[in-house]
Structure 1
Amino acid sequence: MTSSRFPSMTEEDYRASLRLIRTPRIGAVTYNRLITRYSSPQEALKAVPLLAKRGGGQAPKIASEKTVNEEIEQVKTLGARYIFRHTPYYPPLLDQLDNAPPVLLVKGNPRLLQKPAIAMVGARNASAAACRFAHDLGQELANKGYPVISGLARGIDTAAHQGAGIEKTIAVIAGGLDSFYPPENKELQQAISEKGLVVSEMPPKTEPKARHFPARNRIIAGIALGVLVVEASPKSGSLITAKLATEIGREVMAIPGFPMDARSQGCNQLIREGATLIQNSDQIIEAVSVMAALFEEPTEKSPLEPRFSGLENGQIGYRSSPAIAEVKAKDREIIQSLIGSAPVGVNELIRQSGLENAIIQTILLEMELAGRLESHAGGRVSLLF
């Protein structure tokens, strides 16, 4: 399940990619649409104003070269590096997602991203018994060759990281690599960044906000073969991660708990809905065996140093530019009339409009850049105004 190979890009292309990524309204899906459509990131940058105008709004303010240069220097200072999508060291399973982050910022050992890994998440206010169980499971999985991924939160996340050991754990955080949340895990995060791996999609100096955590959770689920929930209340962030894992075809597993404990209700609910009941590490490995059989560690060798900086990253590439669909004014009117405040999927737009997918994708891209669309799970969209 390795990534496809694409033509090499210049340093100017790297910087143009970062300018696109750091531009408002250009999220992962929009970025990937732009890169798929245009022959290079520089061409995509030039196209943004015209596309937004056609979409019926003003173009977003494109991130400046100065902003990107400052970020690159900050990344170098941190002793971190960029890993762009479609490069050998980008996580192979994450690379398959439509909303995969265009670039990851990492500090530590990026080779961990090429190992079949298990995500473990759970309650921040977890019981002592659950924390001990998560710790032991993490240790057993790491000893059997499966790095453990979690979000460095209090409770289960912390126990899982500590159990796996700092050399065999991946911490995905919601803020920049220089942010420490929760504060009491600062030493743990620093230790993981030296011998394990800390991952973020946010630039340095970004403090974690509530809206960043669901995006962080999709990365946790996307990297892993499967997601294990150890303890969780019915409306916890852990269940959001489990839901995301289900949507992208990952194995969802849960530890059963006492029905009267609110911290077990989320796990028991998951099991009722079809999650695999787990009692030990062997059952985890068995549960992810189908996905593991599809996982291929990249065999291509690229010169890598223990620490990485800036944009020195081997190869990054882009898909060949497809034929650009010719969109008529009438086509835009039809699609815009079909999109309302309720989320609708692309397949439904195709069915009701009778238009080709390429035409619809072009119109959606224009509307996104114009700030008129809101994206939802499952590739659905709704109108903002």
Structure 2
Amino acid sequence: MTGRLDDAARCDWIALARAPKVGPVTFFQLIAKFGDPGRAIKAMPGLSADRDSAATELDESRALGADIICAGEDIYPELLNELSPPPPVISIKGNAELFERPTIALVGARDASAAGRKLARMIARDLGAGGLVTASGMARGIDGEVHAASLETGTIAVLAGGVDQIYPPQHAELYHEICAQGLIVSERALGHRATARDFPRRNRIITGLAIGTVVIEAAERSGSLISARMAGEQGREVMAVPGSPLDARAAGTNRLLRNGATLVRDAADIIEAVSTQIDRADVFVQQTLPLDGTPVETQDDDQMVARILEALSPTPMPIAEIARASGCSARECAARLMELELDGVALTHAGGLASRA
């Protein structure tokens, strides 16, 4: 299929996709057998495919400012189309041009820690500043932080219910902001209220839209781990942020790392992990440190290095604080810390922290 379907054909796709007991696998089996949804509906009246309801849904979606697109259409996201099978139809509301840019899925705990929330914001902001789109599920915790931090640069929220169903209710303002600046996506019909079985399908779309999935805080039994498994099955990069073994919210992410997920600390690590799948000319890493505009001196400064070493402790501290204690700029401090890390005497950590090795 190329281009876009006319409304009659689109209604056939919607009617067959919404028919009771017709999931994505059955849908495409019927397409393979009959050639298109219209023929399948005529050949099998027992499917109870309702074209009138499909036409109503299409009209109501457009009245809402949303659209329904079918697998194989030009506007349908390329990566999602690669799934086996892809969602037959998806509803969208917002900026569909975001589908054309490389996307990273960021997911994690609803009851996220303050540190996890801060890290999610930093990574999402820096990925957006670097030219990538973020994708998540608009849930409480990590999801909400990701969307809020990357609104201006591009974020995609995939809902378990219809595109008109705001869940959780406390994210009503965020939902409207995403509609205005980002993109809302759903596989379900307009007006559908999410049930427990809808969330795995939502997660499959989140990871299906992305070239890589990053998990930030996830307990041992977590929907985020389902997302990671789906990403792996889809052939996408699976990444995780390490956490304290004493925090149950990091148990799932640490297990992912033990099982082979790529360890990431910041946006730069993520971009490096997916570098073969993106056009590096269009992607760059935004500095997360509060650096000033002073060029970094290239000559050796033994006294400065000594002061930085003296300021370091085994406990990770903000680089800005280390710079202040050392009497140098944050930019100079970051440059020296990189040299010290290569020498094996210092360590830099996610969130702009550093410690003595």
TM-score of the pair, normalised by structure 1: 0.70
Q: Match for residue 54 of structure 2? A: 68
- Identity, % of aligned pairs? 43
Is 1:31 the counterpart of 2:17? The answer is no
- Write the distance in 2 (CA, Å) between the matches of 1:190 and 1:71: 21
Deviation (angstroms), 1:7:
8.0
Matched AA of 1:156: I
| Larger RCO, structure (CA 8 Å, separation 6 or more) | 1
1:217-366 matches, within 5 Å, as: 217-292=203-278
Q: Match for residue 88 of structure 2? A: 102
Which residues of structure 2 form unaligned runs of 5+?
283-357
Deviation (angstroms), 1:74:
1.6
Change (3 A) 1:185 1:277: same
Q: Match for residue 90 of structure 1? A: 76
- Write the distance in 2 (CA, Å) between the matches of 1:8 and 1:274: 41
Q: What do the CA deviations read for 1:114-158 (whole angstroms, capped 9, x no partner)?
A: 111000000000000110010010000001110100000000001
Change (3 A) 1:147 1:280: same
Of 127, 132, 144 in structure 1, the residue corresponding to residue 118 of structure 2 is: 132
Counterpart contact for 1:166–1:191, Cα < 8 Å: no
Matched AA of 1:27: G
Deviation (angstroms), 1:168:
0.7
Q: Match for residue 197 of structure 1? A: 183
Q: Match for residue 210 of structure 1? A: 196
Of 14, 18, 21 in structure 2, the residue corresponding to residue 22 of structure 1 is: 18
Of 4, 11, 16 in structure 1, the residue corresponding to residue 7 of structure 2 is: 11
Q: Match for residue 358 of structure 1? A: none
Counterpart contact for 2:68–2:90, Cα < 8 Å: yes
State the secondary structure of the residue aligned to 1:133.
helix
Q: Match for residue 332 of structure 2? A: none
Q: What do the CA deviations read for 1:172-200 (whole angstroms, capped 9, x no partner)?
A: 01001111111110110111011110001
Matched AA of 2:21: R
- Write the distance in 1 (CA, Å) between the matches of 2:3 and 2:134: 33
State the secondary structure of the residue aligned to 1:104.
strand
Counterpart contact for 1:167–1:192, Cα < 8 Å: no
Matched AA of 1:201: E
RMSD: 1.8
Change (3 A) 1:201 1:166: farther
Matched AA of 1:18: I
Change (3 A) 1:15 1:144: same
- Write the distance in 2 (CA, Å) between the matches of 1:8 and 1:231: 40
Runs of 4+ in 1 over 3 A off after TM superposition: 5-10
Aligned length: 281
Is 1:164 the counterpart of 2:150? The answer is yes
State the secondary structure of the residue aligned to 2:112.
coil
- Write the distance in 2 (CA, Å) between the matches of 1:290 and 1:79: 36
Deviation (angstroms), 1:37:
2.9
Deviation (angstroms), 1:165:
2.0
TM-score of the pair, normalised by structure 2: 0.76
Q: What do the CA deviations read for 1:5-37 (whole angstroms, capped 9, x no partner)?
A: 548754322111111011011111111222233
- Write the distance in 1 (CA, Å) between the matches of 2:102 and 2:3: 27
Counterpart contact for 2:220–2:252, Cα < 8 Å: yes
